């Protein structure tokens, strides 16, 4: 599907993987709505990207805010691209010296990562469904963000792994649900990427994480995630799949 001339919404689009994706879409001629909790970063990014980008504050766990953000995107043009990069992490073992894993952070991670992605997916897909199909029969595409933790969850990642595994599980079901409407659904499962989350680590720790990747032996760059997201939009045969983007990395237990 051609990107130029269409509207897109990127949930979690103000920083990291989402920022890179927002930039890539604008560079290719899309009108992009950046939906994010961080108003300062989101507004600054939209201003930097120019008239084809706008920002709307959005908590992906709040269905009314997601619905409003999607409507805002629809008002900017023919919405055919929905991408969700919103997510958080939490480190805690199933059982530790303090006792069993706390329930509240587990629920919070599930709510933001899994339910938030579901909200972004369902509202974007409903809006895309209102489009007339293109000549190819396609109405649009939704791209989700999981993680290789969905497959190789490390010690302390039970909440994060469960949330990302849920996104992987939704992918083929959603793609089949929406196939009759000409809407594709694809998920990217990135490995260790150079994002704001890892920026807090000392450089030595970041370098060590990069050396664990078979090839290339470095952290992934957000623009490489964005390049794959763009390719998914443009390649109609990509549907119902979760694509690992990890340099052949298989995470060790710790």
**Does pLDDT of 243 surpass 90?**
yes
pLDDT band at 203 (very low <50, low <70, confident <90, very high): confident
Identify whether 47 is part of a domain: yes
Identify whether 67 is part of a domain: yes
CA–CA dist 24, 1 (Å, integer) = 15
**Does pLDDT of 202 surpass 90?**
no
What is the percent of the chain with per-residue pLDDT over 70, rounded to a whole number?
A: 100
**pLDDT digit string (tens) for 103-151?**
999 999 999 999 999 999 999 999 999 999 999 999 999 999 999 999 9
Number of domains observed in the structure of the chain:
1
Identify whether 250 is part of a domain: no
CA–CA dist 9, 53 (Å, integer) = 10
What is the pLDDT averaged over residues 198-210? 81
Active-site annotation holder among 160, 165, 230, 233: 160
**pLDDT digit string (tens) for 7-22?**
999 999 999 999 999 9
Stated pTM of the model: 0.96
Exposure string (b/e) for 118-143, b if CB count within 10 Å is 16 or more? bbbbbbbbebbeebeebeeebbbbbb
Res 56: pLDDT? 98
Burial status of residue 208 (CB atoms within 10 A of its CB: 0-12, 13-18, 19 or more): exposed
pLDDT band at 201 (very low <50, low <70, confident <90, very high): confident
Measured CA distances, 68 to 35, 55, 63, 104, 123 (Å): 10, 12, 8, 27, 9
Identify whether 88 is part of a domain: yes
Residue 87: strand, helix, or coil = coil
pLDDT band at 3 (very low <50, low <70, confident <90, very high): very high
User: Got the DSSP string for 88-113?
Assistant: ----B-SEETTEEPPHHHHHHHIIII
Identify whether 213 is part of a domain: yes
pLDDT band at 184 (very low <50, low <70, confident <90, very high): very high
Identify whether 1 is part of a domain: no
Determine contact, residues 87/113, Cβ cutoff 8 Å: yes
Which H or E run contains 116? helix 116-128
Say which residues have a Cβ less than 8 Å from residue 25's Cβ, sequence separation at least 6.
3, 8, 10, 32, 81, 83, 230
Residue 53: strand, helix, or coil = strand
User: Got the DSSP string for 170-195?
Assistant: HHHHHHHHHGGGTEEEEEEEE-SB--
Identify whether 251 is part of a domain: no
CATH number, residue 44: 3.40.50.720
**pLDDT digit string (tens) for 48-95?**
999 999 999 999 999 999 999 999 999 999 999 999 999 999 999 999
Nearest to 196 by CA among 87, 111, 80, 123: 87
pLDDT band at 245 (very low <50, low <70, confident <90, very high): very high
Identify whether 2 is part of a domain: no
pLDDT band at 195 (very low <50, low <70, confident <90, very high): confident
Nearest to 147 by CA among 246, 60, 231: 246
The reply to whether 160 belongs to the active site is yes
- Mean pLDDT taken over the chain: 96
Burial status of residue 212 (CB atoms within 10 A of its CB: 0-12, 13-18, 19 or more): middle
Residue 206 has φ and ψ, to the nearest 5°, of -65, -40
Range of the domain at 138: 7-245
């Amino acid at each position: 599907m051609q990107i130029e001339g269409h509207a897109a919404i990127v949930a979690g689009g103000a920083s990291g993987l989402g920022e890179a994706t927002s930039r890539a879409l604008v560079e290719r001629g899309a009108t992009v709505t950046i939906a994010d909790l961080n108003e300062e970063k989101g507004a600054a990014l939209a201003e930097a990207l120019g008239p084809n980008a706008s920002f709307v504050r959005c908590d992906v766990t709040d269905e009314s805010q997601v619905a409003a953000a999607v409507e805002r995107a629809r008002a900017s043009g023919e919405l055919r691209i929905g991408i969700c990069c919103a997510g958080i992490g939490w480190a805690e073992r199933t059982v530790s010296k303090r006792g069993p894993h706390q329930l509240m952070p587990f629920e919070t991670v599930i709510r933001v990562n899994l339910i938030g992605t579901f909200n972004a997916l369902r509202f974007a897909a409903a809006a895309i469904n209102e489009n007339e199909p293109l000549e190819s029969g396609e109405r649009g595409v939704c791209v989700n963000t999981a993680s290789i933790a969905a497959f190789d969850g490390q010690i302390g990642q039970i909440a994060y792994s469960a949330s990302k595994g849920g996104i992987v599980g939704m992918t083929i079901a959603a793609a089949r649900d929406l196939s009759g409407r000409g809407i594709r659904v694809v998920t990217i499962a990135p490995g260790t990427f150079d994002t704001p989350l890892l920026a807090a680590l000392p450089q030595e720790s970041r370098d060590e994480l990069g050396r664990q990747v078979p090839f290339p032996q470095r952290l992934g760059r957000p623009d490489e995630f964005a390049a794959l997201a763009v390719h998914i939009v443009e390649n109609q045969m990509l549907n119902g799949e979760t694509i690992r983007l990890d340099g052949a990395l298989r995470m060790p237990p710790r």
